[in-house]
Amino acid sequence: MLSPTDFQRFHDDIAALSSAIEPAFESGDVAVARAACIDLRTYLTDLAAADHDHLEVRKVLGMGWYDLGVSYRDLKDVERAEAAYHAAIIALEPLLESKEHAEDAATQIAASRNHLGLLFMEHGPEGLAAGHLDDAIADREALVELYPHNDANRVFLGGALCNRGHVERHVGRSKAAHAFYLRAIDVLEAVIPPCDCGCRDATAAPLSNVKGHPHWIVMAHTFLCHATAGKSLAEKERRGA
């Protein structure tokens, strides 16, 4: 029988294998990055094959497959990135029935679907990008209803709407793109805390460093800038049509 120590070991092993990939990217050593991805994929495959049908194991598998998808996307390995994101979703779906894990699982599934959309935005076909982003948006909107105080989810809903606008603009549908950008801006402006004194950003920066990724406030501003720029481009394209 698995113990909390086992779950922590799985988590730590996956985190270590995932963390080993980033230095290879930073040094520009693609061969080492690919080898590190293989190490992580092998570990995840072996853990999944061990038939640990336990929610805690599925949770760490979801985290690991998602991280692997991000790394393969960085390597422009579309087939393996797609497979990793789908594996993350499959691992996490049983957690949706768990009161303890449902919010985290739904959030990670939405992130995986958003990244699938980004993957096909970058490499085509655009139709697949639109479908995955629509799924991510639906997931995020459902989370807003279930967990209205999850501000980070609202930020990533805005990001997904912005990405959806990019897809429409790339295929020449500037009117539809403009509508998605407006929705993104409305969501993001509603969630960004009103503050002009600088304390908000001063707080967000150290939190981002501690967590190893940007705080949602920082991400909200980034997404808002992208949505605003996209809206301006869509307006110019509509006037030029």
pLDDT digits (tens, 9 = 90+) for 105-141: 999 999 999 999 999 999 999 999 999 999 999 999 9
The pLDDT confidence band at residue 101, using thresholds 50, 70 and 90, is: very high
Q: Which residues contact 22 (CB under 8 A, 6 or more apart)?
A: none
Q: Give the per-residue pLDDT at 109.
A: 98
Q: Give the per-residue pLDDT at 216.
A: 83
Please check whether residues 144 and 71 belong to one and the same domain: no
Percent over 90 (pLDDT), the chain? 83
Q: Which of residues 83, 100, 117 is at a domain's end? A: 100
Please check whether residues 77 and 150 belong to one and the same domain: no
Classify residue 121: in a domain, yes or no: no
Amino acid occupying residue 21:
I
Please check whether residues 86 and 174 belong to one and the same domain: no
Classify residue 163: in a domain, yes or no: yes
Q: Give the per-residue pLDDT at 210.
A: 37
- Entry pTM: 0.90
C-alpha to C-alpha distance for 237 and 241, rounded to whole angstroms:
6
Q: Which residues contact 240 (CB under 8 A, 6 or more apart)?
A: none
CA angle, 130 then 169 then 150, to 5°: 55
C-alpha to C-alpha distance for 10 and 16, rounded to whole angstroms:
10
Q: Which residues contact 139 (CB under 8 A, 6 or more apart)?
A: 106, 109, 110, 113
pLDDT tens across 165-203, in order? Answer: 999 999 999 999 999 999 999 999 999 877 654 544 544
Please check whether residues 94 and 134 belong to one and the same domain: no
Q: Give the per-residue pLDDT at 2.
A: 84
C-alpha to C-alpha distance for 169 and 118, rounded to whole angstroms:
14
Q: Give the per-residue pLDDT at 73.
A: 97
Classify residue 31: in a domain, yes or no: yes
Classify residue 151: in a domain, yes or no: yes
Q: Which two tokens stand for residue 162?
A: 């912005």
Q: Give the per-residue pLDDT at 204.
A: 44
Q: Which domain holds residue 235?
A: 129-241
Q: Give the per-residue pLDDT at 195.
A: 60
Amino acid occupying residue 177:
A
Q: Which two tokens stand for residue 240?
A: 């030029």
Please check whether residues 162 and 200 belong to one and the same domain: yes
Classify residue 171: in a domain, yes or no: yes
pLDDT tens across 54-64, in order? Answer: 999 999 999 99
Number of domains present in the structure of the chain: 2
Query: For the residues 62-87, what does the mean pLDDT come to?
Result: 97
Position 65 pLDDT exceeds 80? yes
Position 208 pLDDT exceeds 90? no
Query: For the residues 25-32, what does the mean pLDDT come to?
Result: 95
Position 212 pLDDT exceeds 50? no
Q: Which residues contact 221 (CB under 8 A, 6 or more apart)?
A: 192
Classify residue 25: in a domain, yes or no: yes
Classify residue 47: in a domain, yes or no: yes
Query: For the residues 141-158, what does the mean pLDDT come to?
Result: 97
Sign of CA dihedral 224, 228, 234, 237: negative
Please check whether residues 158 and 65 belong to one and the same domain: no
For tokens 């509509």, what's the residue?
238
Please check whether residues 215 and 149 belong to one and the same domain: yes
Q: Give the per-residue pLDDT at 198.
A: 52
Classify residue 113: in a domain, yes or no: no
Using alpha carbons, select from 123, 132, 133 the residue that is nearest to residue 80: 123
Please check whether residues 133 and 241 belong to one and the same domain: yes
Please check whether residues 146 and 194 belong to one and the same domain: yes
For residue 111, the surrounding DSSP H or E stretch is helix 102-123
C-alpha to C-alpha distance for 140 and 125, rounded to whole angstroms:
23
With beta carbons less than 8 A apart as the criterion, state whether 116 and 125 touch.
Answer: no
Q: What is the mean pLDDT of the chain?
A: 91
